[in-house]
Amino acid sequence: MKPTMKTLHQILVLPAFALLLAACSQPQAEITIDVAQHGADIPSSMYGIFFEEINHAGDGGLYAELVQNRGFEDTSVPEGYRVKDGKLYPPANSCNHLTCAKPHPDMCYRWPTEEIPAWSLTQLEGEGASMKLTTEYPLNSATPTALKVTLPAEGRVAIGNTGFWGMNIEEGKDYYLRLYTSNGKRFDGKAVIRLVGEDGQELCNCPLAIDMAKAWSEYTGHLTATGSDSRAHLVIELEGKGTLLLDYVSLFPFETFRNRANGLRKDIAETLEAMRPAFVRWPGGCVVEGITLSNRIKWKETIGDPVTRPGVYDTWGYRTTMGFGYHEFLQFCEDIGAGGMFVCNVGLGCQGRVGDACKEDEVDSFIEDVLDAIDYALGDGTTEWSRKRVENGHPAPFPLKYVEIGNENWGPVYEKRYDKFYKAIKEKYPQLKLISTLGLGGQHRHERVDMIDPHWYVSPEFFFASDKLFDQQERGDYEIYIGEYAVNQNVGGGNLLGALAEAAFLTGVERNSDLVKMASYAPLFENVNDRVWPTNLIWFDSYRVMGRSSYQVQKMYAENRPSFNVATSFEQPVIPVGVKGQIAVGGWNTDNEYKDLKVTLADGRTVEADMSQGWTPQEGTWNAEGGTLKGSGPGVMRWNLWSVPEAFGDCSISLKARKIAGAEGFLIYFGMHDGKNGYILNIGGWGNQTTAFQRINGNDMPQIPNNISQYVEEGRWYDIRIDIKDGKFTYSLDGKQMLETAIENIQRYVVSGYDENTGELIVKFVNATKEPFSTSVNLQNVTSVKRKGKVVTLTSADPKDENTLDDPKRVFPRESTFNKFSGQFDYTFEPWSFTVLRIKAEI
């Protein structure tokens, strides 16, 4: 049995003069790695990816189709929705199953501005030609809309398609065309398909002999490009007279990832493959749930011939073809050696949007649906759905390993449904790992749980402060999968600082691999022409693809995954953070009252607040009555600053608070300075579920790690106390200590492990400061160390630096050799860097 690892985080606070003496060249710190103290194995499942159709991740991205709006369905209005003033509105009568609220009248989604998106008609000869959408003669019931082109008199027209912000056509490469026509209205003439460059130059063509029949005819063609253009477009040129219906106009490069039909764009798929993902989560994300249940992803509509797939207007504001459907996702997993993770719907629409729920007696049909999905992937080919997999060209089962029961669902309805899904799936497929969408602490809210799935979209500060988050989580009969995480606040479209914060967070993930078994960054993709989410991992346009600095961090972690952790202690100078400022009280979407506010200073003096005067309301309506101060709406935020001249440093704050009505609990602000900067104790925040300290910098309010579950009752007076001392905050309620947290100003992090396959000790180090950082490294219990070893460094001059499609290697890992590894060596880490040291060591 392996000895267990002690998690060591000793911090040496050096006096200021010692810091001055410790000039850059001298090690200021010490890392001690004891290879005899093994930590948990780091499972091969650890680093994976999460695909969701957002930012044109699939259509116009990974999915190699070049024609946009190929089936003319992009403006099909989802059932029950309506389009008004260029926006899409969900059904007004659906209601949220948690709050019973109907959608706010302003809740709306973007809608195409063009009548027939991506298509145009140019009259080349003659006049009067027109095109319009029609459902008069559907190609099939799933995709009823077609394009009707009419030439009333002899003439010539070009029906153009822009592709997804241009088509990348390359000289000498082959393209596969497929389209359907119906000639009920007797179009008499010629047709030719052309691929044309942005400057109008023809890159290839293929004639089309139009069938005279009304019945839909399929054409397939093969085009070889004689020129290149990354912003090319497709033209269907019609010459003659009459009316023709067109549908499913599709163009694929012959060359796709693994050369599969209906395949994936090679460069993008290879960028994913290079991450060595252990698993792929699909299809979402919010798209699993839909704005309302009705427009959720239905996997059964994503398999089979793409001509018959209806597609869906998805949560992210455009219609997707679902060409990269369930089968293609499983095939991709198989192709790259990843485990599949299917996320199913539990009969709940997205709770952050409309949040409608199916009736309880309909839940079984959703359970059936996920069991069918599993059968499709794993069945032996004789069962109903696995037979369809065989018909679709894949006799052997696919590597489906995980099922997530819902996406970002919570609340009593979800908890109950989860238990039902869990039992039904486990009974038939005990080998699958089943994941609950509840976050930290959620393991207690189910009868049985394999994994929980917390998500974090945060500021760099939050992740820098969260490297010990998992050290502090309880262990038990559950594991953690971090299904979505990213720094996406205060980093623009993403930058090196954000990537370093993710690298720092991952030191804690990897060190706690006894509990955290899997993680996937989100979102994965962005077509740079349509960013609907602030920060995404991999960017592309029609012909280029680039991994942001965060991508490089992901890749470095996956490429340098040790077999097991080894005990690592890190002693480094710390500059303690002082807290100084004013106090305020408030509420988020909640009416509260406060009284008896008293501050006890470090020297024992006390300062009592007069609740009826000396307050400066910041947001919300505030009234003082009978010794209490009451805050209410109409806005969501409400807070009121106690305008004492004194800025409070270390002190104890005590006060009484009572909730009158609303969504959450209490907000107590302290250390407030320069406007909206300081700290908050948020009691019963996050939907009246959680209590945590937060930093506040303007509108950025990252949670400071450590939180507890807490629900605030209405009408009850709570006795609250906050002790602030040396950057440590302690929260007590009714005389009982509830939560303690510390703010530190260390931005250097380390984790290390041993790779049994290569015999190397792997040390990962983040230096998120502007100074180089010298440290001595002591290796304990190694029998021999090779002097020469590999170093990989990711850095750039400015933490705001980032890669772009024009400058894809600005923040790029640099490999070098270090010749001075030994049982004790000094190393200087570069400013703003993430470094991996690979040290050949016998243990």
Give the footprint of ligand AHR on this chain (CB under 6 A).
Answer: 52, 54, 284-286, 407-408, 484, 522-523, 533
Nearer to ligand AHR among residue 68 and residue 315 (C-beta): 315
* CA separation for the pair 450, 436 (Å, rounded): 8
Cis, peptide link before residue 80, omega less than 30° from 0:
no
Distance in angstroms (rounded) separating the CA atoms of residues 262 and 305: 9
Judged by CB, which is closer to ligand AHR: 73, or 484? 484
Cα–Cα separations (whole angstroms), residue 829 to 74, 326, 520, 770, 774: 52, 45, 27, 11, 6
Of the pair 289, 356, the CB lying nearest ligand AHR is at 289
How many angstroms separate the CA atoms of 331 and 340, rounded? 9
Instruction: Pick the closer one to ligand AHR by CB: 303 or 522.
Output: 522
In the complex, what is the shortest distance from the CB of residue 19 to ligand AHR, in angstroms, rounded to a whole number? 42
Q: CB 457 → ligand AHR: shortest distance, Å?
A: 7
C-alpha torsion 733→735→739→744, nearest 10: 110
Which of 96, 706 has the CB closer to ligand AHR? 96
Nearer to ligand AHR, 439 or 562 (CB): 439
Task: Give the residue with the Cβ less far from ligand AHR, 343 or 465.
Answer: 343
Do 32 and 568 contact (CB within 8 A), yes or no?
yes
Where would I find the H helices in 32-99? none
For residue 286, give the nearest of 308, 324, 325, 313 by alpha carbon: 313
Q: Which of 138/534 has CB closer to ligand AHR?
A: 534
Residue 461 CB coordination number (10 Å): 20
Beta bridge partners of 63: 59, 264
| CB nearer to ligand AHR: pick between 61 and 163 | 61
| Contact residues for 15 (Cβ-Cβ < 8 A; gap 6+) | none
* CB of residue 13 to ligand AHR, shortest distance in Å: 39
Say if CB 295 and CB 286 are below 8 A apart. Answer: no
**Amino acid present at 408:** E
Task: Give CA–CA dist 449/624, Å, rounded.
Answer: 48
Comparing CA positions, the residue from 829, 350, 258 lying closest to residue 570 is 829
- What's the min distance (Å) between Cβ of 533 and ligand AHR? 6
694 and 459 Cβ atoms separated by less than 8 Å = no
Residues in Cβ contact with 302 at an 8 Å cutoff, skipping those fewer than 6 apart: 283, 309, 322, 325, 326, 327
SS3 360: helix
Q: How far is the CB of 406 from ligand AHR (least distance, A)?
A: 10
> What residues pair up with 227 in beta bridges, in sequence order?
none
- Minimum CB separation of residue 426 from ligand AHR in Å reads 24
- Residues with Cβ within 8 Å of residue 461, at least 6 apart in sequence: 501, 695, 697, 702
Give the helix/strand (H/E) hosting 765.
strand 760-767
Closest distance between ligand AHR and the C-beta of residue 284, in Å? 5
Q: Considering the complex, what minimum distance in angstroms separates the CB of residue 408 from ligand AHR?
A: 5
Nearer to ligand AHR, 533 or 543 (CB): 533
Between the CA atoms of 522, 526, 531 and 532, what dihedral angle is there, to the nearest 10 degrees? -40
The nearest distance, CB 296 to ligand AHR, in angstroms, is: 12
Closest approach of Cβ 690 to ligand AHR, in Å?
A: 17
- Phi, psi values for residue 613, rounded to 5°: -150, 165
Shorter beta-carbon distance to ligand AHR: residue 286 or 653: 286
Smallest distance, ligand AHR to C-beta of residue 285, A: 3
Measuring CA to CA, which residue among 275, 277, 299, 304 is closest to residue 287? 299
CB 702 within 8 A of CB 739: no
Q: How far is the CB of 624 from ligand AHR (least distance, A)?
A: 40
Nearest residue (CB) to ligand AHR, 148 versus 353: 353
Cβ-based nearer residue to ligand AHR, 56 or 659: 56
Residue whose tokens read 């109950």: 416
**Residue closest to ligand AHR when measured from CB atoms:** 285
Q: Provide the minimum distance between the beta carbon of 541 and ligand AHR in the complex, in angstroms, as a whole number.
A: 21
**Smallest gap, in angstroms, from Cβ of residue 51 to ligand AHR?**
10
SS3 per-residue string spanning 229-298? EEEEEEEEEEEEEEEEEEEEEEEEECCCHHHCCCCECHHHHHHHHCCCCCEEEECCCHHHHCCCHHHCCC
At its nearest, how many Å lie between ligand AHR and the CB of residue 482? 12
Least separation in angstroms between residue 462's CB and ligand AHR is: 16
Residue 70, both tokens? 């190929």
Phi, psi dihedrals of residue 307, rounded to the nearest 5°: -60, -30
Closest CA to 363 of 414, 428, 312: 414
* CA angle, residues 725, 728, 732, in degrees to nearest 5: 90
Nearer to ligand AHR, 321 or 437 (CB): 437
Which lies closer to ligand AHR via its Cβ, residue 297 or residue 496? 297
For the record, the structure tokens of 400 come out as: 């489906």
Q: Which is nearer to ligand AHR, 315 or 582 (CB)?
A: 315
Cβ neighbors of 761 (< 8 A, separation 6 or more) are 33, 35, 562, 566, 752, 753, 754, 755, 779, 782, 837, 838, 839, 841, 843
The residue among 229 and 408 lying less far from ligand AHR, judged by its C-beta, is 408
CA dist 28 and 14 (Å) reads 10
CB 96, min distance to ligand AHR, A:
16
Give the largest CA-CA distance in the chain: 97
Q: Which is nearer to ligand AHR, 55 or 250 (CB)?
A: 55
**Least Cβ distance, residue 735 to ligand AHR (angstroms):** 38
SS3 766: strand
